[in-house]
Structure formats: C-alpha cells, structure tokens
Amino acid sequence: MIKAVLLSFNIITKVTITIFNFLSLSIASFVMISSNSDGYELFTVFAQMDKDKDTNQKMVDTQSVNSTSKNFSVIGTISSLVITVPQHEFNITNVFKVILTGDWVLNVRNGTVTNFETNFLASPIDGSMGHIHQITNLSENEEDRGMIILPTSDNNSNSLSINGTADIKINGITIWNDAGISITISKGKTITIDPDDKDTENHFGNQQVYGIVNRLIVM
C-alpha cells in the first residue's frame, strides 16, 4: 500500500515538474519579448525564417518541374558595392566605396513585365550623407513583350534576362526618365541590374547593382 502511494506521488511530482518547466519557459520567453524594445522584431525574424523554409521547399519543387512559366513573381534584396576606381595605383582597401542595400520585386504575367521596383539606400563608406534610389516603370523592349519566360527545368535553372527602359529616382525625384536597363536573374539565386551608363550620366560608375533572390513564386 505504501509503495503504491509512493509510486503515485512520484508520478504526480514528475508531471508537476514538467508542467512547471513548461510554464517557466513560456513566462521567460514572454518576459524577454516584453522587456526588450527590439523583441517584437526578433520574433518577426524567427517567423520569417520559418516562412523562408517553406519558400525554399517551394523553390526546390519548382525547379524540379520540366516546364516553363510566363506567370511568376520574384522578390529579393539588394546587397552591392560601388567603388571609385582610380586611374593609377589601384588598391581595393583605399578606394572610395558606396554600399547599396535595399529591396526589389519583379512581377511577370503572360510573359510581360507588370511591375518591377527597387528601393535601395546608397551609403558612402565614410559615413557621409547617403541617398535613396528607386527604379520604377520598367518597360521591356517591344520585341520581348509577351516573351519573358521563367525556365523551370534543371538545365536552365530559373535564369532569365530582360532588356528595356525604366525611370530612376533619387530621394523620390525622377532624375532619369526611360533610362536603358538590363536585368538578369541567374539560376533563381542572384540578380544583376545594369543601368545604362550614358543614360544615367555614369552615376553608378560603370558598375552593376547586385542582389539576391529571396522568394520565387511560379503561378
């Protein structure tokens, strides 16, 4: 009888400890998020990571399909560097650098671009005042309209190229209208944006803007 009582007591004790530990962990997490002004952003990041796992899985499934699509959306970030190249005694550690960071999105329906936008900050490495670029109103070349296809076979690996014109703004003001531009997405992973140097008065230093693909949605 005593053994049975002790056994029951041990079981109850273990269950109580388990529940207590669970509640303690939940309370600790709540306190951490509530007391930390950045906590909500941290929580959002974790949620985004979980979402990205699902997205990556969709991308793998998409790439394995042996077909093409004229309806898709691509979302990503700009992560690039523009450097001023001196004519003599080039040294990468000493050249003036401008860091480019931001976001971009491309939507294609029936093989035609319906929307392309970038919004990225240009920050000089010396900490001086930067400026914001927006690229909007992309219009592909007439001969390419209706012909933009996202390959989803393993051989082509989700690569595509778009040539056309776009408006380029600085701090919300359009500086160059209908500037020539080329956009290349390589293997569904990276993007290269190449504004025409003549049309943009060599503002980008005869260099391309680079970024990565975060989401690829085939419809």
Proportion of the chain in helix, strand, coil states, percent, rounded to 5: 30, 45, 30
Whole-angstrom Cα distance, residue 212 to residue 79? 7
pLDDT of the residue at 165: 97
Domain 68-218 belongs to what topology?
Porin (2.40.160)
Closest CA to 104 of 121, 120, 118, 122: 118
pLDDT, block means (10 residues), the chain with 219 residues: 45 45 36 31 27 40 56 96 75 82 97 96 92 96 87 70 96 97 94 97 93 93
pLDDT of the residue at 150: 83
pLDDT of the residue at 54: 44
pLDDT of the residue at 19: 41
The first and second tokens of residue 170, run together, are: 């600085």
Name the residue ranges covered by the structural domains of the chain.
2-56, 68-218
Whole-angstrom Cα distance, residue 49 to residue 188? 19
pLDDT of the residue at 24: 41
Which residue's entry shows tokens 């990503």?
A: 76
pLDDT of the residue at 152: 67
Contact call for residues 118 and 135 (beta carbons, < 8 A): yes
Contact call for residues 202 and 171 (beta carbons, < 8 A): no
pLDDT of the residue at 95: 80
| Residues 6+ away with beta carbon under 8 Å from 10 | none
Closest CA to 111 of 148, 140, 76: 148
